[in-house]
């Protein structure tokens, strides 16, 4: 094998570093593809160059971003496709463990998603983790980019710091790269969390609804003007969401439901 590396003029270590960089690029590109679809719902006629200056992906220059949009079907404005997930390496996917599953308590299934939030011409990214049984948001993060260490990892670390979980907890998400990259999988493996994915966003509807509620029912009324304010107002929004009566919980709040369940289980 060492002869092979030498034949192409690169060391084994250099080869694997280059491969790791490429895999990270594919992970981030996967999430950008999905975000472009979300943005196009709000801005149907937005061109690729305008999208670039709104998203500002740090790992991709303007010309490469425009080519990326064209290669992925965004040259002509069209309705978002949740199933376009292919790339040259293939996409890591986990089985959907929620299909036909009936929940009986908290900390059995957490659902998660990443969405964007716009302040003037700048886009930021919000990650939520919600207990599917109680609808309680157990972890969240706000970030200036789509790196895993700033999105899903801090949100999951927050949730794990707040909740005592047993091995076998399911964490369900869509196919975003931040949910299957090496660093995130190492964290879930360490805590014996089972990774689960839906093939489309329609297989993660509760997480999608949380995104919309936090953004449209709270943050847009709090008017954060910069990233520091966004982080503060996001914490406020999550607190208020957890105190908001929920139809699926017989009109009590996730916080009340969580307390009642804890008392009943003790």
CATH number for region 109-265 = 3.30.420.10
> What SS3 class is residue 133?
coil
pLDDT at 235 over 50: yes
User: pLDDT tens for residues 70-116?
Assistant: 888 776 444 443 333 223 344 557 899 998 889 999 999 999 999 99
Specify the long-range contacts of residues 250-255, CB closer than 8 Å, at least 24 apart.
254/131, 254/134, 254/135, 254/136, 254/137, 255/136
Q: Please give the residue that has the higher pLDDT: either 35 or 85.
A: 35
pLDDT band at 26 (very low <50, low <70, confident <90, very high): low
As given in the structure block, the two tokens for residue 91 are: 């996409």
Residue 236 CA to residue 67 CA, distance in Å, equals: 39
As given in the structure block, the two tokens for residue 134 are: 């109680």
Residue 139 CA to residue 112 CA, distance in Å, equals: 9
Residue 195 CA to residue 174 CA, distance in Å, equals: 11
Mean local confidence (pLDDT), 173-201: 90
**Domains of the chain: which residue ranges?**
2-71, 109-265
Percent of the residues in the chain that have a pLDDT greater than 90, as a whole number: 50
pLDDT value of position 121: 85
**CA dihedral over 246, 247, 252, 254, signed as positive or negative:** negative
User: pLDDT tens for residues 41-66?
Assistant: 767 667 788 778 777 777 778 888 88
Q: Which residue, 224, 232, 253, 21, is CA-closest to 136?
A: 253
The answer, as to whether pTM is greater than 0.75, is no
């Amino acid at each position: 094998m060492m002869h092979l590396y030498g034949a192409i003029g690169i060391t084994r270590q250099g080869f694997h570093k280059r491969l790791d960089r490429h895999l990270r690029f594919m992970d981030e590109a996967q999430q950008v593809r999905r975000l472009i679809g979300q943005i196009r719902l709000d801005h149907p006629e937005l061109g690729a160059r305008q999208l670039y200056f709104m998203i500002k992906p740090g790992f991709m220059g303007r010309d490469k971003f425009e080519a990326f949009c064209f290669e992925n079907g965004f040259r002509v404005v069209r309705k978002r496709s949740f199933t376009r997930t292919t790339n040259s390496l293939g996409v890591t996917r986990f089985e959907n463990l929620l299909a036909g599953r009936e929940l009986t308590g908290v900390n059995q299934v957490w659902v998660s998603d990443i969405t964007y939030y716009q302040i003037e011409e700048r886009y930021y990214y919000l990650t939520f983790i919600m207990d599917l049984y109680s609808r309680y948001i157990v972890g969240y993060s706000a970030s200036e980019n789509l790196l895993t260490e700033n999105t899903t990892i801090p949100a999951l670390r927050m949730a794990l710091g707040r909740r005592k979980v047993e091995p076998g907890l399911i964490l369900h998400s869509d196919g975003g790269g931040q949910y299957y990259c090496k660093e995130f999988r190492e964290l879930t493996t360490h805590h014996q969390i089972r990774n689960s994915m839906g093939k489309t966003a329609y297989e993660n509807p509760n997480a999608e609804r949380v995104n919309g509620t936090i953004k449209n029912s709270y943050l847009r009324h709090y008017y954060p003007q910069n990233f520091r304010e966004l982080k503060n107002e996001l914490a406020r929004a999550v607190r208020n969401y957890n105190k908001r009566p929920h139809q699926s919980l017989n009109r009590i709040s996730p916080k009340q439901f969580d307390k009642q369940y804890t008392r009943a289980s003790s």
